[in-house]
A and B are shown apart, each in its own frame.
Chain A
Amino acid sequence: EAGVAQSPRYKIIEKRQSVAFWCNPISGHATLYWYQQILGQGPKLLIQFQNNGVVDDSQLPKDRFSAERLKGVDSTLKIQPAKLEDSAVYLCASSPSVDTQYFGPGTRLTVL
């Protein structure tokens, strides 16, 4: 079974630039999550999708972050414009139901 795929693996941008991350969940998993993991901390949930609908985006900084999952499969997370404090690893996870979340390898973002 293929795991959660994410791209790119690494991204370096300057502050105020825009960036987008892509995630392809495990086939058949209805729930998809985006997490932000700042160095030295545990992952923090940014947004949770159930199919193509948003379940929870209470911790998403909506003035600069956006995410979509238009067809209920893969998803993109965008930051526009980026700030220095957005430097982190962005993890995508998927889950078939109320069960274990399977994580992708993450995208490491560095904002200069």
Chain B
Amino acid sequence: AQSVTQPDIHITVSEGASLELRCNYSYGATPYLFWYVQSPGQGLQLLLKYFSGDTLVQGIKGFEAEFKRSQSSFNLRKPSVHWSDAAEYFCAVGAGDNDMRFGAGTRLTVKP
């Protein structure tokens, strides 16, 4: 079965600084990869997804992620973080049957 590792439990960045959240997956075939964001008391909102094609994926709110098969990674990036980006970020990997597994999440704190 597929699995996801998010190595960083908590990251703090200054507003305006760049951001990279790490995600490593384990799956035998080409995975479906997702990044979700969860604000306190809210459900999960999809930021972006990768199914196939261009390995650099653009998402909402200025986020992007790059699929690197050789590294089994799907890291999330943003060039300039805003205070409103403070939230919990979850990477997820899905198989063709819609079976999705989530990582434990990375909590992002944004310093003024």
Chain A residues close to B by CB (< 8 Å):
4, 31, 40-45, 48, 55-56, 91, 93, 95, 98, 100-106, 108
Q: How far is the CB of B95 from chain A (nearest CB, A)?
A: 9
Q: Which chain A residues lie closer than 8 Å to B104 at the CB level?
A: 40-42
Q: List 22 A-B contacts (CB under 8 A).
A: A4-B43, A42-B90, A42-B103, A43-B90, A43-B102, A45-B99, A45-B101, A48-B99, A56-B99, A91-B44, A93-B44, A98-B96, A100-B49, A101-B98, A101-B100, A103-B36, A103-B45, A105-B41, A105-B42, A106-B42, A106-B43, A108-B41
Given that A31-B98, A42-B103, A43-B102 are known contacts, is A91 also in contact with B43, CB under 8 Å in the complex? yes
B97 within 8 A of A: yes
Q: Would you call B25 an interface residue if the criterion is a C-beta within 8 Å of the partner chain's C-beta atoms?
A: no
Residues of B that sit less than 8 Å from A by CB: 4, 32, 34, 36, 41-46, 49, 90, 92, 96-105
Main secondary structure of the interface of B (DSSP, over half): strand
Question: Once bound together, how far apart are the Cα atoms of A56 and B34, in whole Å?
Answer: 20
In the complex, what residues of A have CB within 8 A of residue B45's CB?
A: 103
The interface residues of chain A lying within 8 Å CB-to-CB of B49 are 100
Docked complex Cα distance between A56 and B97 (Å): 10
| Beta-carbon nearest neighbor of B34 in chain A | A100
Question: From A104, which residue of chain B is reached at the shortest CB distance?
Answer: B43
